């Protein structure tokens, strides 16, 4: 990074702390960096190009490692990964607050794909199928599962934290010696997500329906509360009686969607593996295609995962199955719950990013292959 690139990148980071990223223009950056527009375009195509350079510089130690091919190399890779994130903690937290955190896994996926495409011929048959999709899955799963540690400090070493990630990802790989049978209790915990007030429930349903309708033609950022209330046929004050902003409405709707999909599972039976569970979820989410397509990108991806994480209590009826995998210490347990949200929602988000609609069964089988790739 030369002197001009440094001043331009620092100008952008300063502006991102002052106003929304989408409202920052090239002229704003050039003025803050005391350079001309010509100088700016001599070094960058646009403001996203600046962030990609910062991400490239920050993640260079990880990119140099390539793809780990054994469990031990995966653990070593994760330790370097966590140390790299910590070294540039302020940058990544700034990207999150500005709603552009998704640029990091996108850059890493592109870099990993370029590396694997140059692999020796004798290695290529061992690589996963659908290589571009695999790189997106691996980069997103690893980044978002590791990002949790930036907001949850610990006195444990990077090697110890890497072991937590690795052991959590291994769950379900070995055949279980404990029965996977489960019985749902008569009282459904997901019922607590619904309002007991019929009038409030009706208003919320009108707002949900209006939001889904508007998302067919708008991005979430383009929807105002006035337009949403008007489309729903309710007063603005009715909206604020239930929600602080549109994000809180979307998060509650997501929690209810998750509960609906989980309730569609049989009450007595045998729990299925990762791939089939992704398939069942995608079929359940298909009714809400507009919502999921609108939320795949930027800070909304974290909202999608946090909503699933906060809905973890609706999985309580699966405790006999889940409990055998739960870590014994509270810190690892909190991470385990976050990882469950990440591993579930990454395939969903990648699916809805696509312009085509791949066969759900085939797609879910690929997700099963990708999840356990480091341990093969």
Q: What token pair was written down for 124?
A: 């290529």
User: Is residue 159 domain-shared with residue 305, that is, in the same domain?
Assistant: yes
Please name the residue that has the structure tokens 């990882």. Answer: 339
- Asked if residue 69 is part of any domain, the answer here is yes
User: Is residue 19 domain-shared with residue 160, that is, in the same domain?
Assistant: no
Q: Which residues of 107-116 are buried (b: 16+ CB within 10 A; e: fewer)?
A: bbbebbbeeb
User: Is residue 101 domain-shared with residue 42, that is, in the same domain?
Assistant: no
Q: What values do phi and psi take at 183, rounded to 5?
A: -135, 125
pLDDT at 253 over 80: yes
Which residues face 270 on adjacent strands?
181
pLDDT tier for residue 302 given thresholds of 50, 70 and 90:
confident
- Asked if residue 191 is part of any domain, the answer here is no
User: Is residue 85 domain-shared with residue 162, that is, in the same domain?
Assistant: yes
Write down the pLDDT at residue 267. 47
Q: How many domains, in total, are found in the chain? A: 2
- Asked if residue 275 is part of any domain, the answer here is no
pLDDT at 192 over 80: no
pLDDT at 316 over 70: no
User: Is residue 24 domain-shared with residue 156, that is, in the same domain?
Assistant: no
Write down the pLDDT at residue 281. 87
Write down the pLDDT at residue 174. 64
Q: What dihedral do alpha carbons 324, 369, 273, 363 form, nearest 10°?
A: 150
Domain that holds residue 23: 1-51
What's the angle, vertex CA 98, arms to CA 340 and CA 105, rounded to 5?
A: 45
User: Is residue 66 domain-shared with residue 133, that is, in the same domain?
Assistant: yes
User: Is residue 42 domain-shared with residue 73, that is, in the same domain?
Assistant: no
Please name the residue that has the structure tokens 């052991």. Answer: 167
User: Is residue 42 domain-shared with residue 66, that is, in the same domain?
Assistant: no
User: Is residue 28 domain-shared with residue 135, that is, in the same domain?
Assistant: no
**CATH no. for residue 46?**
1.10.10.60
Give Cα 206 to chain centroid, integer Å: 28
Averaged confidence pLDDT in the chain: 84
Give the SS3 label for residue 182.
Answer: strand
pLDDT in tens, 118-156: 888 888 888 888 999 999 999 999 999 999 999 888 888
Integer Cα distance of 233 and 206 in angstroms: 8
pTM of the model: 0.85
Lowest mean pLDDT among 11-20, 230-239, 316-325: 316-325
Write down the pLDDT at residue 72. 86
User: Is residue 47 domain-shared with residue 100, that is, in the same domain?
Assistant: no
User: Is residue 65 domain-shared with residue 19, that is, in the same domain?
Assistant: no
Integer Cα distance of 87 and 58 in angstroms: 8
pLDDT at 272 over 80: no
User: Is residue 113 domain-shared with residue 35, that is, in the same domain?
Assistant: no
């Amino acid at each position: 990074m030369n002197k001009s690139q440094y001043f331009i990148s620092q100008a952008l980071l300063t502006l991102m702390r002052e106003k929304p990223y989408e409202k920052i223009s090239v002229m704003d950056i050039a003025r803050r960096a005391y350079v001309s527009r010509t100088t700016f375009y001599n070094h960058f195509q646009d403001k996203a190009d600046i962030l990609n350079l910062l991400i490239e510089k920050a993640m260079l130690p990880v990119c140099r490692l390539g793809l780990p091919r054994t469990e031990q190399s995966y653990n070593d890779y994760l330790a370097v990964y966590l140390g790299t994130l910590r070294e540039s903690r302020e940058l990544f937290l700034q990207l999150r607050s500005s709603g552009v955190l998704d640029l990091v896994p996108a850059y890493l996926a592109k870099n990993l794909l370029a590396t694997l495409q140059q692999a020796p011929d004798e290695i290529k048959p061992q690589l996963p199928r659908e290589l571009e999709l695999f790189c997106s899955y691996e980069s997103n799963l690893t980044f978002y599962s590791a990002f949790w540690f930036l907001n949850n400090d610990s006195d444990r070493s990077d090697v110890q934290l890497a072991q937590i990630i690795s052991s959590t990802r291994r769950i379900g790989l070995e055949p279980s010696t404990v029965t996977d049978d489960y019985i749902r209790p008569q009282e459904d915990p997901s019922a607590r997500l619904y309002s007991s007030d019929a009038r409030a429930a009706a208003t919320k349903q009108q707002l949900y329906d209006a939001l889904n309708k508007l998302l067919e033609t708008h991005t979430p950022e383009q929807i105002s509360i006035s337009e949403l209330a008007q489309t729903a046929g309710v007063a603005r004050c009715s909206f604020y009686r239930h929600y602080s902003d549109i994000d809180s409405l979307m998060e509650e709707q997501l929690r209810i969607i998750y509960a609906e999909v989980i309730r569609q599972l049989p009450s007595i039976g045998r729990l299925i593996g990762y791939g089939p569970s992704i398939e069942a979820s995608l079929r359940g989410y298909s009714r809400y295609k507009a919502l999921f397509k609108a939320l795949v990108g930027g800070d909304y991806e974290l909202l999608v995962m946090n909503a699933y994480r906060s809905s973890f209590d609706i999985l309580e009826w699966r405790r006999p199955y889940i409990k055998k995998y739960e870590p014994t210490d509270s810190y690892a347990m909190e991470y385990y719950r976050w990882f469950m949200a990440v591993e579930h929602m990454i395939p969903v988000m990648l699916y809805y990013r696509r312009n085509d609609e791949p066969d759900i069964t085939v797609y879910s089988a690929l997700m099963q292959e990708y999840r356990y790739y480091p341990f093969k």
